Amino acid sequence: MTSKIWGGRFSAGPSAIMEEINASVGFDQRLAKQDLRGSRAHCAMLVKAGLISKEDGEAIQGGLARIEKDVADGNFVFKLALEDVHMNIEARLTDLIGAQAGRLHMARSRNDQVATDFRLWVRAAVDNIEEQLLKIQSALIDKAEAHVDTVMPGFTHLQAAQVVTFGHHLLAYVEMFGRDRGRFSDARRRLNECPLGAGALAGTSFPIDRQQTAKKLDFDRPMANSMDAVSDRDFALEFLSASSVLATHLSRFAEELVIWSSAQFGFIHFTDAFSTGSSMMPQKRNPDAAELVRAKSGRVFGGLITLLTVMKALPLTYSKDMQEDKEAVFSTFDTLELCLAATLGMVIDMKAAPERMRAAASVGFTTATDLADWLTQTLNLPFRESHQITGQIVKLAESKRCELSELALEDMQTVEPRITKGVFDVLTVDASVASRTSFGGTAPYNVRSQITAARKRYLKEGPA
């Protein structure tokens, strides 16, 4: 097997085990489109620099075009014996145009080649995720607009805490996903430098034009250091890191959907499109899509840990360990793409139950903070004193098995004689949400303003 592209020095072929562990074409064939694009740009640069003839360049470009069509049509046969996507394409190009194909590898190595391909692939993946996040934000904003005035309990420690609106709650995820978009955008900016032309690690003696190839491939600039260019995988780590934070947000939202759709809460309802039944219990409607989004976060976290572990002790520059970078990234993207599509579908599909939300908001002493605020504002008490008085009144209501708004004024006055009947104006759920007018608060008026701002900020609707 001395016909290997790198095999001039070796007299014996690899064992079957070595061939199996060394090969990456089973997964890196996903880079075929990017590899072909990089080769086209490299070929054009070699011709312009006078390093290969125009005729050889045209032959190479024609062969690459035929391979590109075969790949797009699913007709390209990837061979394990050729190790990786680069060798498979180069071997096929040789079959098509003969020895001229060998000129394409002038002034480049598989090291800078794969680094370029991978950056192109991750850049496209980032753009895809950003587009999906934009759609989810848009759907959440639309749903929030429909529920600006729908009151529900807000929770801390999963205990009813204060009254909020459903619209306000959904906008919290709009902000989370906005930060996710920012992280991916930030990562994209840093990854958008071109390794091509760095060679194996030290650059090349050929008079190449790296600015030209970088521009042709829509990179901002060539990478400044050839050793860094071939050994850097920060862009993949940043992609996996941003993906892990996004997966956390998707999982948190999915958890809330699971809770809200339970019979005990009944805040939302899914149609058959996003729920399943039980093989034994005919009454069940299970939020399986949400549960799977919640679970798949583990796959994403695993990808990040995998690549961090691979990279943590590698000396410069390239080591074969780095072949392990792609499966983690590919798997993460596939997982996120599915989870994002499922999340968008669930947001659109879910129907709120305002009556159940209002009923839940009306129990659990959710207006206790409003009572404490009233004591501070009306009686000019220090808030800590108001907090203590309110705690005693809550205890009194608990003993009478009623809500704060159901206590008699005389009962409250046994704790604080200066309380007047005006206190009842702040103890309803509607009064509670309406009072939260501080910037970012849950007052419906605020939420309407937040929706307008979110549309401008994230969806670019209206004047910036």
Q: What is the pLDDT of residues 382-391, one digit of tens each?
A: 999 999 999 9
CA nearest to 41, candidates 56, 61, 59: 61
Q: Is the pLDDT of residue 267 over 60?
A: yes
Q: How far apart are CA 197 and CA 106, in angstroms?
A: 10
> Distance (Å, rounded) from C-alpha 110 to C-alpha 90?
11
**Mean pLDDT of the region 93-107:** 96
Q: What pLDDT, on a 0 to 100 scale, did the predictor assign at position 287?
A: 86
Beta strand 351-352 with 268-269 is antiparallel
> What pLDDT sits at residue 396?
95
Per-residue pLDDT, averaged over 194-221, amounts to: 98
Residue 16: what pLDDT?
Answer: 81
Q: Would you name the residues annotated as active-site residues?
A: 157, 278
Q: Which amino acid is at 79?
A: K
Q: Is the pLDDT of residue 277 over 90?
A: no
pLDDT at 2: 42
Asked if residues 93 and 64 have their Cβ atoms less than 8 Å apart, the reply is yes
Averaged confidence pLDDT in the chain: 94
Task: Report the candidate in 180, 186, 188, 208 with the shortest Cα–Cα distance to residue 196.
Answer: 208
Q: Give the other-Cβ count within 10 Å of 53's Cβ.
A: 13
Tokens of 374: 């009233």
The C-alpha atoms of residue 232 and residue 190 are separated, in whole angstroms, by 12
Reported pTM: 0.91
- The tokens of 123 are what? 């850049």
pLDDT in tens, 126-179: 999 999 999 999 999 999 999 999 999 999 999 999 999 999 999 999 999 999
Cα 127 to chain centroid distance, Å, stands at 11
Q: Rounded to an integer, what distance in angstroms lies between the CA atom of residue 60 and that of residue 66?
A: 10
For residue 223, pLDDT over 60 is answered with: yes
8 pLDDT more than 70:
no
Question: How far, in whole angstroms, is CA 131 from its chain's centroid?
Answer: 10
Residues 266-302 as b/e (b if ≥16 CB within 10 A, e otherwise) read: ebbebeeebbeeeeeeeeebebebbeebbebbebbbb
Average pLDDT over residues 212-235: 98
Spacing of C-alpha 4 from chain mean position: 40
Residue 10: per-residue pLDDT: 62
pLDDT at position 1: 38
Indicate the SS3 state at residue 417.
coil
**234-243 average pLDDT score:** 98
pLDDT of amino acid 320 = 94
Cα separation, 88 vs 42, whole angstroms: 18
Computed from CA positions of residues 26, 27, 29, 35, in that sequence, does the dihedral angle turn out positive or negative? Answer: negative
User: What does the pLDDT read at residue 63?
Assistant: 98
What is the predicted pLDDT for the residue at 108?
96
Residue 73 has pLDDT above 90, yes or no: yes
Residues 374 and 378: their CA atoms lie apart, in Å, by 6
Residues 381-402 have a mean pLDDT of 95
**Tens of pLDDT along 335-365?**
999 999 999 999 999 999 999 999 999 999 9
In this prediction, residue 12 carries a pLDDT of 62
Beta pairing, strands 351-352 & 151-156:
unpaired
Confidence at residue 282, expressed as pLDDT on a 0 to 100 scale: 59
Lowest-pLDDT range of 18-32, 83-97, 447-461: 18-32
Local structure of 153: helix, strand or coil: strand
